[in-house]
Chain A
């Protein structure tokens, strides 16, 4: 079983977590000013990298909190996990 390090609870089994998608997607300040293409890009276009990926997870069946992670999408290796607002120590995409 894949173990994910929750920033509060420590190493916990993957089954307790839910995936929250790519991290650091800023919501446009004024959505009404956007074209349909720009709004569509905000909603749906993601980097989908092969390799390091900054993403959000929620420890849904644990402490219940969202946090940020840098995970390798090839190996599933979790490089870092950080509380919201913290920067990854390794300087991952923030």
Chain B
């Protein structure tokens, strides 16, 4: 426990020197439900769950990221974890589903800056050109050896969801890229 706190501190320290930023605590839920339950889940969560593959939808401080044809990653403010889960369980009563809280399984790194896509290209096999990976697109993929969820929030802004145990590795690869001068 102590070790992971120390590591997070180190991430924050680096964040001031680069254009990488570690995100704060957040509520994360993974929802799996068939098409029949999507409307109910959307109204319970307050965000329209995207049914188009690899798209994210936001409303206020919440977001729903398409992960698979019946699978979404839901993001909400940390304090709302309990009420979001309860609202979804209520709204989905009668729809077979799986709702798993994963708030502490993952953490997020934001890559922001004019050369964000170039920096990500050192570890991500996807075509990050705006035409191929537009703003609002999200997907599970790989960064170097780490499985991630990549979400393009702006032309030059990406959010990476990564499992906590992979976070220091991900950070070091990204930071190494910055040090090699890929970003201005």
Contact = CB atoms under 8 A, between A and B. Distances in A.
A9 B142 contact: no
What band does the interface of chain A fall in when counting residues whose beta carbon is under 8 Å from B? 10 to 19
B126 A63 contact: no
A8 B125 contact: no
B142 A16 contact: yes
Contacts of B139: 9, 62-63
Contacts of B140: 61-64
Given A8-B53, A12-B126, A15-B125, A64 B142 contact: no
Contact of B53 (A9, A13, A15, A16): A9
Q: Which size class do B's interface residues fall under? A: 10 to 19
Interface in B50-86: 53-54, 67-69, 71
Nearest to B142: A61
B88 to A, nearest CB: 21
Contacts of A16: 125, 141-142
A63 B141 contact: no
Q: Is the interface of A mostly helix, strand, loop or mixed?
A: loop
A9 B55 CA distance: 10
B136 interface: no
B168 interface: no
B147 interface: yes
B102 to A, nearest CB: 15
B54 A9 contact: yes
Interface of A: 1, 8-10, 12-13, 15-16, 61-65
Interface of B: 53-54, 67-69, 71, 125-126, 139-142, 147
Q: 7 closest pairs, A vs B, by CB?
A: A13-B125, A63-B68, A8-B53, A64-B68, A61-B142, A15-B125, A9-B53
9 contacts: A8-B53, A13-B125, A15-B125, A15-B142, A61-B140, A62-B139, A64-B67, A64-B71, A64-B140
